[in-house]
Amino acid sequence: MLKQLSVGVLLIFLAGCGTHKVQFYGEVDRSDKTVMVPPGSEGLKGRLKQALAEDGWKLVIYRGPSVTEGEAGEKTKLLHYDTYNSRYQLVVSSYQYGSSCPGFGAAMNYDVSFIDNTSGNEVFTINGRGCGGGTAVKNFMRMVRGR
């Protein structure tokens, strides 16, 4: 009886360890597989970058130069804007809140955004909590692939 109760508690615990929410706002244009990513390879950020690279995406760190253009004169009008060397941008925020997922990695909260640099729109976002980030990576790649 005690063994069955322990297994039941463990299953309830593990079910609570993986919740996420996906918000979808547009399609990913897979004909331009360039994405600006944050530097580094720690945690979820590294796993997402690895998954993108394995799917054939070109990863860039530098966004491109800032440009100021216009004319000085009687009515000076200068425009300032940033340029991008990639079609998309990956923004990742995650933090470990414990190691309560035995055998499944660190328990973490995460928030991931995929942004279209051409339009400035967020294409989709995924946030939640989970063990090791595996569910987040799977859902992220599903959204990138349009599934």
80 phi, psi to nearest 5 deg: -125, 130
Mean pLDDT of the chain: 82
- Listed in sequence order, the residues at least 6 apart from 2 whose beta carbon sits closer than 8 Å to its beta carbon are none
* DSSP state letter for 79: E
Question: 15-49, pLDDT tens digit by residue?
Answer: 445 677 889 999 999 999 999 999 999 889 999 99
Question: 59-113, pLDDT tens digit by residue?
Answer: 999 777 788 888 888 888 888 877 778 999 999 998 877 666 666 567 788 999 9
| CA dist 138 → 3, 32, 104 (Å) | 32, 21, 15
Task: Report the phi/psi class of residue 133: left, alpha or beta, with left for phi > 0 and alpha for psi in -120 to 50.
Answer: left
**What residue has token string 């980030």?**
133
Show the domains of the chain with their CATH numbers: 13-144 (3.30.160)
